[in-house]
Amino acid sequence: MIFVKPNTEKEAVYLLNNSNGISRILGGGTDVLVQMRSGIIEPELIVDIKNIPGIREINEINGGYEIGAAVSGSEFNNYPGLKEFAPGIAEAFDLIGSSQIQGRCTLAGNICNASPAADTAPALSVSKCIVKIVGPNGFREDLVSNIPISPGKNSLKKGEFIKSIIIPKRPPYSSDSYIRFTPRSEMDIAVVSAACFITLDQNKLIKELNISLGAVAPIVVNVTGINELVINNNLNDDLLSQISIICSSSCDPIDDKRGTIEFRSHVAGVLAKRAIILAHSRAGDKIEKIAR
Amino acid sequence: MDQITPKAVKEFKIVGTRPLRPDGIDKVTGKAMYGADLYAPNMLYGCLLRINEPHAFIESINISNAEKLPGVKSIITFKDFLKINPDNKNNPILENCIANEKVLYDGHAIAAIAAVDLNTAKKALKLIKVKYKKLPFVINIEEAMKTGAPIVSVGKKNENIPDGYSDNVIQYCSFGNGNLEDGFKTADKLIKRTFKTPSVHQGYIEPHACLASMSNDGKADLWCCTQGHFNVRSICSNIFKMDNSQLKVTASEIGGGFGGKTTVFIEPIALALSQKSGHPVKIVMSREEVFKATGPTVSSLVDVEIGMKKSGKITAAKAIIRYEGGAFPNETYELGAQSAFASYDLDAVKTEAFNVLTNRPTQAAYRAPGAPQSIYAVESVIDELCQHFNLDPLYVRILNAAKKGTKSSYGPTFDDIGLKATLEAAKDHPHYNAPLKENQGRGISCGFWFNFGGNTCVSLNINFDGTVGVVEGNPDIGGSRSSISQMAAEELGISLDKVKTVIADTNSLGHNDVTDGSRVTFSVGLATIKAAKLAKKELCKRAAKLWGIDEDAVIWKEGYAHPAGANAGNQEPLSLEDIAKVSSQTGGPISGHYEVNAEGAGVSFGVHLVDIETDMETGHSKILRYTVFQDAGKAIHPSYVEGQMQGGSVQGIGWALNEEYIYNHDGKLQNPGFLDYRIPVASDLPMIDPVILEIPNPGHPYGVRGVGETSIVPPLAAINNAVSRATGIRFTELPLSPPRVLKAILNKQ
């Protein structure tokens, strides 16, 4: 096994592109090290990207934020203003692992590991976040939603790695939320999860409402057919139960040790409802704040 | 943190206080030596080849390629053990450590390798070529019992098994008295239900680890993490046909055991690898190995039928208990049958129990082995009857509670027991009448455990500087070193900081039974007090010598020898230190020894109260409040007693809510890790509120009753009853995991 810690993107791409056999990027290492220790993978090359300039930085750009690929959960959640800007993404990121893991885990790693239960995947997808990718053919951008393609597999090509994640600028009176279901209160993995992004107008009418569900299909489910139903409406119980039903029927889960198909589908609808109520109240608070 | 002492008892100075734990600093600073922490010169690393099939016939094991790998020093299979001792073919403990002809469960080991480092050993594992034939398997109790089921092992069935069962049903027992038929006839309501509980693991945080070194002349040293190193010595010296004296076993510090470390899993393997290679060999299990090849407790299928008058009086009770303990089950089924109705004073009662083989890992003891499962079923039916008659569940339990003079359902007649006082304490506690909100339920359950005494040796040595060393032979798993030092200091009348208790290796003391059965603070404490009394007698004798008076004219009082009697004189009292300092001139070092097969441990009862809120949309149950009432006889170190009451409760809560061995259709374990085998985390729980009662045990000089195990018994039914009351649905199967509870809620809607 070769371990390299390059100082430039170019060097990292070169190493990854020219390796034979299994290679892995080391950002936080919270998945890679566990997988190596339990014998799931035996990489021939490990490229630690933490020396690459900018990779551990958070920057405000165009009214949104660019999060370096090696920024940890605790760095993210302690960055002034970020939690208020995207509370749903912050709560999803914060749910990963223990305090110790929080010091290491990264958004890029969570996305590339491509677990159907990844906490940040629905939270980033629902806000239409973008990844910046470097590779042998230069830069490219893609939606976070397009990175995981099946459990444990991602769409990055040979030699490519994620450099940063963009959380785009949001309209006023927007907010987001993320709720997951776990049998335990922490140190657990999502059995079902739901993320919501909502935009209201000054009169609390819904302008946009996106729902993404986690752990109910091989990849994140971006639920369709909701905006048509809710646009220019006030949020009410009837709408919520309709959305809940749509969400439950959008699921394509499996029966496994963590939950049944029936359980996951039902709870997806319940969590979606709760995530909407939370995001809606956050967006509503902004209207009241400005009005004051 | 209340302590309820119903009657004036002996005055204590040190017993009953809460000194800092003597092992605390080393444990939190990483200095404590656990099983994996010892290294020896030229040590090798051992690992085991495990087969991931529930049931297979081993056709061949070819080790020639693995042997050739540089760095590999020894490889063993079951055949090596047959060369060591032909009798090993009939040794189920060994056959569990390493398979003989058949793989009997997913993860059963079939070979082991020792190499210069762990990577080489693991690489070599992959070079062993195994041919095996898959066999039909059986995982589930009900299926295993049916005629025509795949048979796990032939020839184990006892003669008293009733007809109509497969050869997997190997043992049967029954207990009880009175006329059941008449009893059921006089009942106003009969409820009969079938209950299931899953296999659960003890979940100790430290995996099994050992270091073995065997010399060419047949002597051996073994260092391991165990609840009973004398038992390890017996098992291993039997396998290796060694004299007990030639195998020295030293127990490391222990990171939890809960019964799971009362037997051996890797120790004979490390010894054999060491014997063959001529090097010391260390083996440390991975968490996956711990889940697959050690522990769990039995899974159960229990029918309970209880008849009750509308007054709440139980008229008759019956249980049919079926426990599955994997490929080599032990006697847990019998303990389940004996404990099922132990809390009640019944005129007509019967329990029957079956012991069943399956293709699962061999059960190990788990905190009050066998009692939680059967009592879960009994206490759930009693709660349902209380609901039926709209009777207060504590009132009904007080009405039927066993008391002094009750002939228990399993035979013995109870002496002084604390059940009624415990129930009354629960009834008077503010928790019992606190208001509940919507979707909340309150559950209660009684619990029982036998408690044991057993073989125990203690040496108490008085050093020349007046300090005292207590030498005992039971690994300290729940704070026993502190409690034993407290009892020694109390009896001698000296301060606690003068006493240090250590755990001796197997060559330094006579045989001590395993740290189990909640026996240590009781038995070792008893032996320590008696050893201290003998030392005091000797101290008086030495004082008499110094004073030149008759030995009988000296008495020991509060740490000093005093002259007593008319002709004794007016000498200044001599302290223990005064006498110890000059003991070299009065006959040599002073000590006290006591050896006993202790009896009179005294049974233990507990009552738990729990409030739960169930999320009716997800089936998730949250523990809101939890109070434990338990009789400790006398709490030597109340913080440790509370720790036992809280720890057992938490393990029971995990068992009730989420923990279970999950198998897929291939008979393979799906969750051999702490991510998907969900023990509760701290944030899942409120502070468990312990209430210690002290009803002195007449069998112990200070009144001690074992407290380690009873606390895991009531949570299963208490939680089942709370969730049943919160949701309005009676549950009969654990765990009450969100998918199971939600399904029941949706079915009801």
Q: Do A267 and B742 touch (CB under 8 A)?
A: yes
Instruction: Tell me the pairing of strands B554-557 and B560-563.
Output: antiparallel
Contact A237, A244 (CB under 8 A): no
pLDDT score at B570: 86
Query: Which positions of chain B have pLDDT values less than 70?
Result: 1-10
Give the three-state DSSP class for A203.
coil
Q: Distance from first CA to last CA of chain A, Å, rounded?
A: 60
Residue B100 gets which letter from DSSP? Answer: S
pLDDT score at B3: 52
Contact A176, A87 (CB under 8 A): yes
Give me the half-sphere count of Cα atoms (radius 13 Å) on the Cβ side of residue B316: 19
Instruction: Tell me the pairing of strands B314-324 and B349-356.
Output: parallel
Asked if residue B735 has a cis previous peptide bond (ω within 30° of 0), the answer is: yes
**Both A46 and A75 in a single domain?**
yes
Q: How many CB atoms are located within 10 Å of the residue B393 CB?
A: 22
Q: Which residues contact A282 (CB under 8 A, 6 or more apart)?
A: A87, A175, A176, A177
- Could you give the CA distance from residue B222 to residue B481 in angstroms, rounded to a whole number? 22
Residues A168-205 have pLDDT tens digits of 999 999 999 999 999 999 889 999 999 999 999 999 99
Interface test with A, best of B668, B678, B679, B736 (most A CBs within 10 A): B678
Q: Which chain A positions have a beta carbon within 8 Å of B623's beta carbon?
A: none
Interface test with A, best of B684, B719, B723, B747 (most A CBs within 10 A): B684
Q: Do B678 and A256 touch (CB under 8 A)?
A: no
Nearest to A187 among B620, B681, B742 (CB): B681
Q: How many residues does this entry show for chain B?
A: 749
Helix axes B393-400, B371-389, angle to 10 degrees: 120
Domain end residue (candidates: A122, A144, A167): A167
Average pLDDT over residues A261-280: 98
pLDDT score at B637: 98
Instruction: Tell me the pairing of strands A45-48 and A2-4.
Output: parallel
DSSP B465-516: TS-EEEEE-S--SSSHHHHHHHHHHHHHT--GGGEEEEE--TTSSS----S-
- Could you give the CA distance from residue B350 to residue B358 in angstroms, rounded to a whole number? 26
- Which residues share a beta bridge with A25? A47
Nearest to A263 among B662, B675, B739 (CB): B739
What tokens were used for A143?
A: 């939606």
Contact B401, B605 (CB under 8 A): no
Instruction: Write out residues 612-641 of B within 8 Å (CB-CB) of A.
Output: 617-620
DSSP B519-562: -HHHHHHHHHHHHHHHHHHHHHHHHHHHHTS-GGGEEEETTEEE
pLDDT score at A288: 84
**Both A198 and A282 in a single domain?**
yes
Helices (H) and strands (E) in chain B, counts: 22, 27
Q: Which chain A residue lies closest to B745 (C-alpha atoms)?
A: A263
Q: Do B675 and A188 touch (CB under 8 A)?
A: yes
What's the distance, CA A292 to chain centroid? 33
- Could you give the CA distance from residue A20 to residue A43 in angstroms, rounded to a whole number? 10
Residue A8 gets which letter from DSSP? Answer: S
Q: Which chain A positions have a beta carbon within 8 Å of B739's beta carbon?
A: 259-260, 262-263
Q: Do A256 and B671 touch (CB under 8 A)?
A: no
Residues A87-98 have pLDDT tens digits of 999 999 999 999
Does B738 contact chain A (CB < 8 Å)?
yes
Residue A106 gets which letter from DSSP? Answer: B
Contact B736, B657 (CB under 8 A): yes
Does B154 contact chain A (CB < 8 Å)?
no
Q: How far is A79 from chain B (nearest CA, A)?
A: 26
Q: How far is B658 from chain A (nearest CA, A)?
A: 7
Contact A171, A207 (CB under 8 A): yes
Domain count, chain A: 2
Q: How many CB atoms are located within 10 Å of the residue B534 CB?
A: 15
Q: What is the CATH number of the domain that holds A53?
A: 3.30.465.10
Does B680 contact chain A (CB < 8 Å)?
yes
Contact B136, B91 (CB under 8 A): no
Nearest to A263 among B678, B681, B742 (CB): B742
- Could you give the CA distance from residue A119 to residue A92 in angstroms, rounded to a whole number? 5
Domain end residue (candidates: A167, A197, A212): A167
**Both A266 and A201 in a single domain?**
yes
Domain end residue (candidates: A167, A182, A204): A167
What's the distance, CA A39 to chain centroid? 27
Q: Which chain B residue lies closest to A269 (C-alpha atoms)?
A: B617
Q: How far is A44 from chain B (nearest CA, A)?
A: 15
pLDDT score at A290: 75
- Could you give the CA distance from residue A168 to residue A66 in angstroms, rounded to a whole number? 8
CA proximity to B591, closest of B649, B558, B542 = B542
Q: How far is A140 from chain B (nearest CA, A)?
A: 36
What's the distance, CA A148 to chain centroid? 11
What tokens were used for B73?
A: 């020093």
Contact B18, B638 (CB under 8 A): yes
Q: Do A186 and B678 touch (CB under 8 A)?
A: no
Q: Which helix (H) or strand (E) holds B646?
A: helix B638-657
Residues B690-737 have pLDDT tens digits of 999 999 999 999 999 999 999 999 999 999 999 999 999 999 999 999
- Could you give the CA distance from residue A12 to residue A4 in angstroms, rounded to a whole number? 9
Residues on A contacting B at a C-beta cutoff of 8 Å = 38, 181, 183-189, 191, 256-260, 262-263, 266-267, 270
Which domains can be identified in chain B, with CATH numbers? 35-135+207-254+261-293 (3.90.1170.50), 299-451+602-748 (3.30.365.10), 454-598 (3.30.365.10)
**Both A114 and A241 in a single domain?**
no
**Both A23 and A106 in a single domain?**
yes
> What's the ipTM?
0.95
CA proximity to B84, closest of B72, B99, B94 = B94
| Cα radius of gyration (chain B) | 27
pLDDT more than 90, % of chain A: 95
**Both A193 and A62 in a single domain?**
no
DSSP A39-98: TS---SEEEE-TTSTTTT-EEEETTEEEEETT-BHHHHHTSTTHHHH-HHHHHHHHTSS-
**Both A143 and A190 in a single domain?**
no
Domain that holds residue A151: 2-167
Q: What is the pTM of this model?
A: 0.96
Give the phi and the psi of residue B93 in degrees, each rounded to 5: -65, -45
Q: Do B742 and A258 touch (CB under 8 A)?
A: no
Residue B44 gets which letter from DSSP? Answer: E
Give the three-state DSSP class for A151.
coil
Q: Which chain B positions have a beta carbon within 8 Å of A266's beta carbon?
A: 742, 746
What tokens were used for A39?
A: 């014998």
pLDDT score at B253: 97
pLDDT score at B451: 95
For chain A, the average pLDDT equals 96
Average pLDDT over residues A147-171: 97
CA proximity to B519, closest of B592, B448, B455, B594 = B455
Q: What is the CATH number of the domain that holds A244?
A: 3.30.390.50
**Both A135 and A192 in a single domain?**
no
Residues A204-229 have pLDDT tens digits of 999 999 999 999 999 999 999 999 99
What tokens were used for A34?
A: 């566990």
Q: Do B738 and A257 touch (CB under 8 A)?
A: no
Q: Which chain B positions have a beta carbon within 8 Å of A262's beta carbon?
A: 739, 743, 746
- Could you give the CA distance from residue B722 to residue B719 in angstroms, rounded to a whole number? 5
Q: Do A263 and B675 touch (CB under 8 A)?
A: no
Q: Do B738 and A181 touch (CB under 8 A)?
A: yes
Nearest to B658 among A181, A183, A256 (CB): A183
- Could you give the CA distance from residue B503 to residue A159 in angstroms, rounded to a whole number? 58
Q: Do A184 and B684 touch (CB under 8 A)?
A: yes
**Both A158 and A196 in a single domain?**
no
- Which residues share a beta bridge with A93? none
**Both A182 and A157 in a single domain?**
no
Q: How far is A118 from chain B (nearest CA, A)?
A: 14
- Which residues share a beta bridge with B500? B469
What tokens were used for B457?
A: 């040796």
Q: How far is A181 from chain B (nearest CA, A)?
A: 8
- Residue B365 vs residues B130, B237, B709: alpha-carbon distances, Å: 32, 22, 11
Give the count of Cβ contacts less than 8 A between chain A and B.
52
Q: How many CB atoms are located within 10 Å of the residue B240 CB?
A: 20
Q: How far is B388 from chain A (nearest CA, A)?
A: 31
pLDDT score at A34: 92
**Both A151 and A207 in a single domain?**
no
**Both A187 and A150 in a single domain?**
no
Q: Do A191 and B288 touch (CB under 8 A)?
A: no
What tokens were used for A219?
A: 């990849």
- Which residues share a beta bridge with A174? A199
pLDDT score at B1: 43
Q: How far is B47 from chain A (nearest CA, A)?
A: 14
Q: Which chain B positions have a beta carbon within 8 Å of A188's beta carbon?
A: 675, 678
Q: Which chain A positions have a beta carbon within 8 Å of B742's beta carbon?
A: 263, 266-267
Q: Which chain A positions have a beta carbon within 8 Å of B680's beta carbon?
A: 184
Does B675 contact chain A (CB < 8 Å)?
yes
Contact B711, B601 (CB under 8 A): no
